[in-house]
Amino acid sequence: MKEETSPLTDNFHGLKEGARSDANHFKHSTSGGPDPSFGEKISELITGCRDFYQLEKEVQRRSLEMSLGIFAWVLQEIDTHLMNARDKRVWEVVGFRERTLVTSFGELKVKRRLYRNKQTGEAKFLLDQALGWSERSRCTPRLKEMAVKLGVDMPFRRAAEILGYLVPGISPMAVWQAVQEAGEALRQEGESRREAVFEKGETPGGKEKTSRLYIEADGMVIRLQRSEEKRKEVRLFVAYTGKEEVGGGRKALKDKLVMSGVGEGERMWEEVYSGVASRWDMGQVKEIYLGSDGAEWAKQGVDYFPGAVHVLDPYHLNRRLVEAFWHDEETYNEAKQAIASREWERVEEVLNKAVRGVRGVRKKRIEGLWRYLKENWSGIITSPGTERLGTIEGQVWHGAGWRMKRVGASWTEAGADRMARVLSARSNGELEKYTSRWELRLAGQEHLAQAVQVEVKRKVEEAGSWLRAGLPALRGPSAGAPWVKHVLRELSRPSFELA
């Protein structure tokens, strides 16, 4: 049976033949132009694909290979520039060493020169130093940013699977490592601020002005792995200057600052104070309301913020009331009214009446509520800031809980601390600061850029000449077709310039 044809399939078969012709032409072309195997790869691509999915996949793969080649060439040019610009009286080349770099195009093995100081014997890679490439880093900043943003949204294995569609060969461990590096940078920054204030006695120097601050603290228990302890508490904090309407009856926190980590209460509060005081001028703050669920470590915050008033946040108070009186709506309403009156005698009267009428678990819950209210009564009767608090529970879940408490999730203590800090940085809109941290330190960078531009332009012009000479479609009967005029002809036109 004869195969059915159409103008589109005719053009496709013609393109195949053109690719074969180009490949044969390339085999005999002179050196100095594009990669001689380029034509053969195009021929294989066009003649070998059987469906559009495979065609698209192969085009992507070839494009990534080409991008890796360009990237390798750029690094080679920089390394050569550094060799020529070095102080030859001090640094001598002792050989090449290979290192693997995982980029947004895929994995790249980089050969760079190793130098030795003739006077001290010190060994150094000038390329690594110029790129800001630390000894342990494998991922480039751009890939690291993509990996971290996916890693904070989903399990590392799933993040690697999705990222693998764009970056072949990316592993869950590479995603994990990227998140760990960002989290460690955040931990070191927080610890540095804490040491400066509490060990060196430096003034934080916050610049923002506000007369009132709200600070809320809460804990979130997670499961641990590779530890004698089965569980650990992540401490979360949010500081803000108030709430504002954002439409639809909803309110948002003003000037929100989120902090979190795994650590003892006192150390975490020192870090929180240094972070808050590094942002706001504490001399201008007249009122500070510190909200918590009543946990002892959370109430310690009043010792670090002079003049702060502890407030038991409304969410946790109401949750305790519901747990004790879920079976008795009338007593629940009486207890709420008694608490609102801020008269402890009235509260005791309601609780005493309620506890006499029940037994077992219900009685234990009412007695627990009684102790809870007594221990936190001073935080309940503090009225001015009470109505403004109660946001921490939402911050806990939306900021960290959904990622760190998912089904089956478990963490090392260090890994949990770093992940919590990364999630806080994202809530603050600052995550990018901790994923793209390589800074080029390259003397004569402008001169190098000019030299590279000349070389790239020469290669592009050679490639364009080959494309114009080697694509029959540009001169054949289909020369007026849109896919030739607007795609192939533009690809063969080397009229662009590098910025």
Q: How far is 112 from 124, CA to CA, in rounded Å? A: 11
The two beta strands, 309-312 and 231-240, are: unpaired
What is the spatial distance between Cα 36 and Cα 26, in angstroms, rounded to a whole number? 6
C-beta separation of 72 from 107 below 8 A: no
C-alpha to C-alpha distances, 485 to 29, 344, 409, 462, nearest whole angstrom: 26, 85, 54, 21
Structural domain boundaries of the chain? 201-434
- What is the Cβ-side half-sphere exposure of residue 428, based on CA atoms within 13 angstroms? 23
Nearest to 157 by CA among 181, 185, 179, 183: 179
Helical segments of 32-97, H only: 38-48, 52-85
> pTM of the prediction?
0.72
Euclidean distance between CA atoms 472 and 490, whole angstroms: 15
pLDDT tens-place string over residues 383-432: 555 556 767 777 777 778 888 888 678 999 999 999 999 999 999 999 88
Contacts of 166 (CB under 8 A, 6+ apart): 104, 146
First to last CA, the chain: 56
- Reading the chain (499 residues) residue by residue, the pLDDT tens digits are 444 443 334 444 444 444 444 334 333 333 333 454 666 666 677 777 778 888 888 888 888 888 888 888 888 888 988 898 889 999 999 999 999 888 888 888 999 999 999 999 999 999 988 888 877 777 888 888 999 999 999 999 999 999 988 887 788 998 998 899 899 999 999 999 999 999 999 988 899 999 999 999 988 999 998 888 889 999 999 999 988 887 777 888 899 999 999 988 899 999 999 999 999 999 999 999 998 888 889 889 999 998 888 888 777 888 889 988 888 888 889 988 988 888 899 988 989 888 887 888 888 998 998 888 888 888 887 755 555 676 777 777 777 888 888 867 899 999 999 999 999 999 999 988 888 666 656 555 555 556 556 655 665 565 555 444 555 555 566 566 665 555 555 555 544 343 3
